[in-house]
Structure 1
Amino acid sequence: MKVKNVDGVMLKKAFIGAAQYLDANKEEINALNVFPVPDGDTGTNMSLTMKSAVKQILNLNEYNAGKVAMAASNGSLMGARGNSGVILSQLLRGFANGLEDKENIDTVDLANALKLASDTAYKAVMKPTEGTILTVARGCAEYALKIASEEDDVINFLYKIIEYGNYVLNKTPEMLPVLKQAGVVDAGGKGLMCALTGAYNAITTGEEIELEFIESSIKRPVHISRDIETADIKYGYCTEFIINTYYKDYEQFREELAKFGDSLLVVGGEGFIKVHIHTNNPGMVLEKALELGELNDIKIDNMRYQHSHLIVDEEQVNQVDSKKTKVANKKYGIIAVSVGEGINAVFKDLNVDYIIPGGQTMNPSTEDLLKAIEEVEAENIIILPNNGNIILAAEQAKDLSNKNVYVLPTKSIPEGVSALIAFNPETDIDRNLKNMKEAISYVKTAQVTYAVRDTEINGVEIKKDDIIGITGDEILAIGNDVEEVALELLEKMVDDESSLITIFYGNGLEEEDALKLSTKLEKKFEDFDIEVLFGGQPLYYYIFSIE
């Protein structure tokens, strides 16, 4: 079969195939995590991001190649999770911009779009690292440009790109020593090649792809009956939709919609505007939006009914009260990503306005972060990601919002807590950000968890199920006993400038376990203050804050 041009229908099928193949191989990609800790989620994040792209494509009423690519870009932008998901969304954004509004595309068009995809992703990362998904994307793009003029068959063209992309992927361990030590290729690069392979398979087999996998990640709602007063709800319909438009005056459009309700969020991307509003007249809002372009992904919920029959995700039943649905307009609002009942309570005590459930293995999406921003009514909003894999999504949400949003790049729960202790609601934003960043620099984070696979790091062999003590990207202690590993880890972490150790103990441990550890630490570090707190975090026996 020879294919010289790809139309929108075929491109749609390619995207669905990419999402399906990513979903089928996500656990293999997760297992490529360099650190053998139970939070390898690159495959999961890329799969969820691609599923979000496909859901947006399925909402299209008509298909041409350019519109399909733009829908994928828009969906991935909102659904991006983790660093790998954000980079994937940027690749799709550049790819869509490269295709513009083309009805059909040939190999030259595809090559140019792949090059713009790579360029866009590189620009989105402050300090690009070679040997990652970026390198694989660039390799594919450069090779595509090289062969596009001589290869006009799209099928052969894609096959050759995939073959070369896998060649680049297999060389990533030579570019990043940490990959070579762990004996793995880059997980993000592997995810990208799975997406390209899935796209290729979909357009060559001719078989229809079942879409059940798209909904496989959606949690079934649990209905909780509560007697909640609904008389105070001024605007009864939560209305959300996307406008396919290149209209750029978002501020003017926002002002026009403001008269119809409150809780208004208007964010724009390449070729779309996403709207969220609470209103009593959803029809009038939709009519106003139709003046700008076609609508899709329309969702209208009766909030009075929802408040009487509260619906939450199965995993969030115990977290219903962890969020404040609204806060009064004030100088500062703080959003924190957190996991664990006890850690949530600590953040509440430190006056966090909105807690987003998430962390290791459950990174919130850009849209989750945007919804939190929308809920917090404050002059200045500070986001604490508390995980290095959430910072890019937080930055992306900030860029999409019209509010004054600041992302403090906290990479752990202890960093988030220290930043909040340094926060002063009476101080101006610049001084607060400076003080909070300084506080982060004074705290060290240590964690005790278990190994999920055999590996070798820095010449040290690690076996599956070993207890390991880590800080940042270093494994400092290995053993079979949680307490012994914790003691060894802290001995290596504590220095002459340290004076306080805070212990957050997680699910699977009892308070007496943590108190026993605390007693031993008090004997070992006589002049230290030792604090024990219930964290309730999964996967990690202990999280330590050392100051």
Structure 2
Amino acid sequence: MYKELEYSSIKEVQTLSDIHREVIQGMHLKNMIISGANNLENNKNIVNSLNVFPVPDGDTGTNMSLTMNSAVKEINKCEDLEVSLVADSAANGSLMGARGNSGVILSQIFRGFAKGLKNVKEIDSVALANAIMEGCNTAYKAVMKPTEGTILTVIREGAEFGLKIAKSTPNTAELLGKIIEKANETLNKTPEMLPILKQAGVVDAGGKGLIFILKGMHHYLVTKEVIQLAEVPVVEVEVETAKPVYDDDIVFGYCTEFFIKGKDLNPEEFKKKVIDIGDSIVVVGDENLIKVHIHTNNPGTVIEEALRFGYLSKIKIDNMREQHQELLLNEEERKTNEELKNYGVVAVAMGSGISRIFKDLGADEIIEGGQTMNPSTEDILKSVDRINAENIIILPNNSNIVLAANQAKSISNKNITVIPTKSIPQGISALMALDVEKSIEENEKKINKAISEVKTGLITYAVRNSNFDGVDIEEGNYLGITDGKINAVGEDMKDVIYKVMDAMIDEDASLITVYYGNDVSEEEALKLEEDIRGRYEECDIEMHYGGQPLYYYILSVE
């Protein structure tokens, strides 16, 4: 581990000027980016904890770290370490690996940064300041309605300050240190810019993640040392295999998924136990429930380790090599024989039940994702490429995936329409409104009208003590969220559910649909359905198994 440099005093930085680099060359830039990525990876849980709502789905740090890891993977392929080529590789890697809104914005910062370094052989302080400013400008352009008090404000104020002092600060390390100081000052002011941050008592998570990246880059400039990872990062890796019949990416052949149930569970501790025996690892949950996804060659070993923590449910093991060979055999035939459809649909969903509903309604591709598991731009592009249709509709079904979907649209040469669905109920309503006989313009209008008439409620639990809108929230309380706002808190789940539903139901309501999650038994769900029928007699009621983690119930009112 390293001792983080202090940024409160430029004097300390200046005393190290004898080892500062006046200019940054390609190898230095590569090491800076790796150091920044590692620093964020080491601190991503701090960023995740800055979730505005005290709910178990904070993922900004994870999304930004995975985006950075994609950038690092790409620059590690660089044989020619010219500044512009390293910057381009980082931009391309982060673009394809971008996850969540924060990851997409970060990828746009790198895109602009690379644009600012086009044809640059070595980076002096003026070039560095200009490139950071170009990164800021590109990120702002990528967001339709930029919100101040976010990562955008942090990068903008830091970049503007850098431009002002670049000519009088010829040392690149000193300049970057001062930019970080200014950016950090702005970060600390974000609660005053966004009331929702002030209510939650946190600074902007994306801005905090950016500071960790910049500090990691600056650490390399000052010390000539890349910050090392505290532990192996949880990322997908590419390793070549000697067996040509398999996909080069399939190093670990069995996709293994299950839930661990018990008491006093520790997701991070379990992750450390299995991190060396697989990849594509996702371990999320709390002290009562952990969802595990891992690609491994030893599923029995993973399961045996999991049994030391608690009892298991919903175990699913798929042989990915076998599946891939079948895909290779069928793909060419499918492409040859499949007629060009008028419409194809990509939907993002989390939970086997919800995925099945989207499939039954006609979605061609389901990307597993949502809260805590935002798909990357590349994930979305791969699904789009598998569809043989004249028009392709993407349903993100989560506000944190819309930017990545739009980024995929901008890269693809296919005719893509992104419907900005922000919830599962909106996505289902959109799919039901699709008429394959109508034009894309008619459908887009019809679908947007349909999703505007859907209200969404979520029932989950608090992961920390907090105060929101004057309401004290204690860790473990049930939380009710209606269309993105907490409107019910309590110790009795049913009371919270009814408060949410009362807020959603008005005189126009005619249909209530409930999707129950992975930690809710069928018996509990059926009992709730019976109670709802008695309470809201004027509405039709539908109950479906969703299988989603973290959220006990997803409620829809139309």
TM-score (norm 2): 0.80
Answer yes or no: is the 8 Å Cα contact 1:51–1:214 preserved in 2: no
d(CA) in 1 for partners of 2:471, 2:64? 31
Q: 1:88 maps to which residue? A: 106
Cα–Cα, structure 1 residues 172 and 212, in superposed 2: closer, same or farther, change >3 Å?
closer
Answer yes or no: is the 8 Å Cα contact 1:445–1:544 preserved in 2: yes
d(CA) in 1 for partners of 2:233, 2:53? 30
d(CA) in 2 for partners of 1:151, 1:54? 29
Q: Please report how far the alpha carbon of residue 101 of structure 1 lies from its aligned counterpart in structure 2 after TM superposition.
A: 2.4
Q: Please report how far the alpha carbon of residue 491 of structure 1 lies from its aligned counterpart in structure 2 after TM superposition.
A: 1.4
Q: 2:422 maps to which residue? A: 411
Q: Please report how far the alpha carbon of residue 298 of structure 1 lies from its aligned counterpart in structure 2 after TM superposition.
A: 9.7
Q: Secondary structure in 1 aligned to 2:406?
A: helix
Q: Which amino acid letter does the alignment assign opposite residue 99 of structure 1?
A: L
Q: 1:356 maps to which residue? A: 367
Deviation readout 1:400-425 (Å, 9 max, x if unpaired): 11111111110010001111111112
Counterpart of 2:136 (choices 118, 122, 144) is 118
d(CA) in 2 for partners of 1:542, 1:219? 34
Matches within 5 A, 1:118-517: 118-210=136-228, 215-218=233-236, 302=244, 311=253, 313-314=255-256, 315=293, 328=338, 329-517=340-528
d(CA) in 2 for partners of 1:391, 1:163? 32
Q: Which amino acid letter does the alignment assign opposite residue 195 of structure 1?
A: I
d(CA) in 1 for partners of 2:91, 2:466? 37
Q: Percent identity?
A: 52
Equivalenced residue count is 470
Q: Secondary structure in 2 aligned to 1:60?
A: coil
Q: 2:281 maps to which residue? A: none
d(CA) in 2 for partners of 1:56, 1:305? 19
Q: Secondary structure in 2 aligned to 1:34?
A: coil
Answer yes or no: is the 8 Å Cα contact 2:54–2:463 preserved in 1: yes
Q: 1:237 maps to which residue? A: none
TM-score (norm 1): 0.82
Q: 1:65 maps to which residue? A: 83
Cα–Cα, structure 1 residues 110 and 433, in superposed 2: closer, same or farther, change >3 Å?
same
Q: 1:546 maps to which residue? A: 557
Counterpart of 1:7 (choices 12, 20, 25) is 25
Cα–Cα, structure 1 residues 48 and 213, in superposed 2: closer, same or farther, change >3 Å?
farther
Answer yes or no: is the 8 Å Cα contact 2:254–2:317 preserved in 1: no
Q: For structure 1, which segment, 104-113 or 2-11, has the greater mean C-alpha deviation from structure 2 after superposition?
A: 2-11
d(CA) in 1 for partners of 2:454, 2:173? 54
Cα–Cα, structure 1 residues 335 and 44, in superposed 2: closer, same or farther, change >3 Å?
same
Counterpart of 1:524 (choices 524, 535, 539) is 535
Segments of 5+ residues of structure 1 without an aligned counterpart are 221-296
Q: 1:294 maps to which residue? A: none
d(CA) in 2 for partners of 1:11, 1:307? 28
d(CA) in 1 for partners of 2:401, 2:192? 27
Q: Please report how far the alpha carbon of residue 52 of structure 1 lies from its aligned counterpart in structure 2 after TM superposition.
A: 0.4
Q: 1:22 maps to which residue? A: 40
Deviation readout 1:281-338 (Å, 9 max, x if unpaired): xxxxxxxxxxxxxxxx9999946789999945433856889x9976733111111001
Tell me, yes or no, if structure 1 residue 98 matches structure 2 residue 116. Answer: yes
Q: For structure 1, which segment, 75-84 or 150-159, has the greater mean C-alpha deviation from structure 2 after superposition?
A: 150-159
Answer yes or no: is the 8 Å Cα contact 1:169–1:185 preserved in 2: yes
Q: For structure 1, which segment, 206-215 or 388-397, has the greater mean C-alpha deviation from structure 2 after superposition?
A: 206-215
Deviation readout 1:437-480 (Å, 9 max, x if unpaired): 11101110001001111111111111111110001231111111
Q: 1:47 maps to which residue? A: 65
Q: Which amino acid letter does the alignment assign opposite residue 69 of structure 2?
A: K
d(CA) in 2 for partners of 1:92, 1:54? 12
Cα–Cα, structure 1 residues 305 and 521, in superposed 2: closer, same or farther, change >3 Å?
closer
Q: Secondary structure in 2 aligned to 1:501?
A: strand
d(CA) in 2 for partners of 1:302, 1:219? 18
d(CA) in 2 for partners of 1:310, 1:53? 23
Q: Secondary structure in 2 aligned to 1:113?
A: helix
Answer yes or no: is the 8 Å Cα contact 2:91–2:107 preserved in 1: yes
d(CA) in 2 for partners of 1:428, 1:301? 46
Cα–Cα, structure 1 residues 183 and 301, in superposed 2: closer, same or farther, change >3 Å?
farther
Q: Secondary structure in 2 aligned to 1:105?
A: coil
Q: For structure 1, which segment, 529-538 or 148-157, has the greater mean C-alpha deviation from structure 2 after superposition?
A: 148-157
Segments of 5+ residues of structure 2 without an aligned counterpart are 1-18, 257-292, 295-315
Deviation readout 1:171-226 (Å, 9 max, x if unpaired): 11111111111111101111111110011112222335557967532389xxxxxx
Cα–Cα, structure 1 residues 72 and 456, in superposed 2: closer, same or farther, change >3 Å?
same
Answer yes or no: is the 8 Å Cα contact 1:20–1:213 preserved in 2: no
d(CA) in 2 for partners of 1:4, 1:219? 35
d(CA) in 2 for partners of 1:197, 1:2? 15
Cα–Cα, structure 1 residues 433 and 302, in superposed 2: closer, same or farther, change >3 Å?
farther
d(CA) in 2 for partners of 1:308, 1:173? 45
Tell me, yes or no, if structure 1 residue 74 matches structure 2 residue 92. Answer: yes
Q: Which amino acid letter does the alignment assign opposite residue 438 of structure 1?
A: K
Q: Secondary structure in 1 aligned to 2:438?
A: coil
Q: Secondary structure in 1 aligned to 2:74?
A: helix
Cα–Cα, structure 1 residues 127 and 423, in superposed 2: closer, same or farther, change >3 Å?
same
Q: Secondary structure in 2 aligned to 1:38?
A: coil
d(CA) in 2 for partners of 1:35, 1:77? 28
Q: Please report how far the alpha carbon of residue 433 of structure 1 lies from its aligned counterpart in structure 2 after TM superposition.
A: 1.4
Answer yes or no: is the 8 Å Cα contact 1:33–1:40 preserved in 2: yes
d(CA) in 2 for partners of 1:298, 1:402? 29
Cα–Cα, structure 1 residues 404 and 300, in superposed 2: closer, same or farther, change >3 Å?
farther
- CA RMSD in angstroms, aligned pairs only: 2.5
d(CA) in 2 for partners of 1:340, 1:202? 42
Answer yes or no: is the 8 Å Cα contact 1:64–1:101 preserved in 2: no
d(CA) in 2 for partners of 1:45, 1:335? 21
Q: Secondary structure in 1 aligned to 2:537?
A: coil
d(CA) in 2 for partners of 1:211, 1:430? 49
d(CA) in 2 for partners of 1:211, 1:520? 52
d(CA) in 2 for partners of 1:212, 1:140? 28
Q: Which amino acid letter does the alignment assign opposite residue 467 of structure 2?
A: E
Answer yes or no: is the 8 Å Cα contact 1:453–1:464 preserved in 2: yes
Cα–Cα, structure 1 residues 36 and 310, in superposed 2: closer, same or farther, change >3 Å?
closer
Q: Please report how far the alpha carbon of residue 540 of structure 1 lies from its aligned counterpart in structure 2 after TM superposition.
A: 0.2
